Amino acid sequence: MVKCGCGSNALFGPPNGSVSKCSKHKTPGYINLRCPQCITRRCGSQAYFGTLHQKPKHCGEHRRRGERNVVMKECADTKCHTRATCGEEGGKPTHCRKHCSSSAILRVIKLCSGDNCDRARLFGKVGGRAEHCSHHREKDEIDVVSFRCETSGCSIFEIHERPISHHLSSDGIRMCSGCYRSLYPELNKLRVRVEHFVLADIQRVIPHMTKYLEVQDCPIPCGVSMERPDALYVTKNGKTLVHIEIDETPNHENDTNRLMRILASTDAVEHIVVRVHTHQTVDDPSMFVSRRLTNGEKVLSARPCEFSRRMKIIEKTIKRLMRKNKSCIEVLFA
């Protein structure tokens, strides 16, 4: 086994090259050469799924119908094919979280250090390790687990401020969705995102808002910030901003400093912010449900009753705040 300079096993190297670095000391563009890669073009993620008793061919995103995780140990329950993550103390994982016993503990995932929290760690101090989940994260903690964009377009940001990477280029460079769409327009599929779905319905129920639209999912022209508000409307002769953010997760872009940078890019006096949460809450289901097409592609579709109910509340809230015309931050369905 080739060793990295730090003494750890080397797994990563340049595409079509040889392994030379561990996961901690790998350079941008290096990929895992020891583990099988997804065969989908321009993916580059590690392959876990395939036909039983054969080598894995696809990652979780590109898995085909009928393919199973052939790399990691499955739950001991005969009818369950979920990854085994729980086991008795001192032993190996034998069951998934659904079929484990009451005395079993989570063995393969580091849990949040919050009180009695069984969620995975994602957030921590800049340059440090993950300590908390999204519910228990502190104000100055960021996502230190997810990979960040490595393109030159996002190099103007500090490492911890760069967008999360969801794509891999042909030469192994991790890219955010914005850079991917710009560099590979011919490969980008036309998909409607959750925020676009909700914003389109807001324009349907409040049609006169369309004439006030300043930007949508783009930086403010001639502004002092590269922040991209989901939808920004300028009303009252340019003195009032109506800023709508669609949040798919509880803490999605929930940053007061970000809102202030957006306000500083305009001449507005009043700043009305409406944050719409679309995810599942304690009392209500999510506005959208995930399903998989016959070709294996994962898509989202709206729950008709829940979507209609929340849209009525969103419409009333926006109209009320525009009549009041005072700076505020209104959070819906948190």
Number of domains in the chain: 2
CA–CA dist 20, 12 (Å, integer): 6
Tell whether 30 is covered by a domain: no
Domain assignment of residue 150, given as a range: 146-183
> For 120-144, what is each residue's pLDDT tens digit?
788 888 878 888 887 788 888 888 8
Tell whether 80 is covered by a domain: no
Residue 294 in tokens: 């016959």
> For 162-171, what is each residue's pLDDT tens digit?
888 877 776 6
Q: What is the pLDDT of residue 73?
A: 82
Nearest to 81 by CA among 98, 56, 64: 98
| Same domain (yes/no): 160, 237 | no
| Same domain (yes/no): 256, 166 | no
| Same domain (yes/no): 163, 270 | no
Write the CB contacts of 31 (distance below 8 Å, at least 6 apart in sequence).
Answer: 12, 13, 14, 15, 37, 44, 168, 172
Mark which of 183, 206, 239 sits at the end of a domain. 183
| Same domain (yes/no): 210, 328 | yes
Tell whether 13 is covered by a domain: no
| Same domain (yes/no): 231, 305 | yes
| Same domain (yes/no): 200, 323 | yes
pLDDT per residue, tens digit, the chain (334 aa), is 677 877 788 888 887 788 888 877 777 777 778 788 888 876 767 888 888 888 888 887 777 877 888 888 888 887 887 778 888 877 788 888 788 887 776 666 677 888 777 677 888 888 788 888 877 888 888 888 887 888 888 888 887 788 888 777 766 677 887 788 777 766 655 455 788 888 889 988 998 888 888 888 777 766 666 777 888 888 867 788 898 988 877 665 556 677 777 777 777 788 888 989 888 887 788 888 877 766 566 677 888 889 999 999 999 999 999 898 888 889 888 7
Tell whether 97 is covered by a domain: no
Tell whether 99 is covered by a domain: no
Tell whether 302 is covered by a domain: yes
Tell whether 199 is covered by a domain: yes
| Same domain (yes/no): 236, 150 | no
> For 267-298, what is each residue's pLDDT tens digit?
778 888 898 988 888 778 888 887 776 656 66
Nearest to 167 by CA among 159, 175, 178, 156: 175
| Same domain (yes/no): 267, 165 | no
Nearest to 205 by CA among 244, 248, 236: 244
| Same domain (yes/no): 199, 322 | yes
The CA-CA-CA angle for residues 144, 150, 154, to 5°, reads: 95
Tell whether 8 is covered by a domain: no
Spatial contact of 93 and 77, defined as CB atoms under 8 Å apart: no
| Same domain (yes/no): 306, 179 | no
| Same domain (yes/no): 257, 305 | yes
| Same domain (yes/no): 244, 178 | no
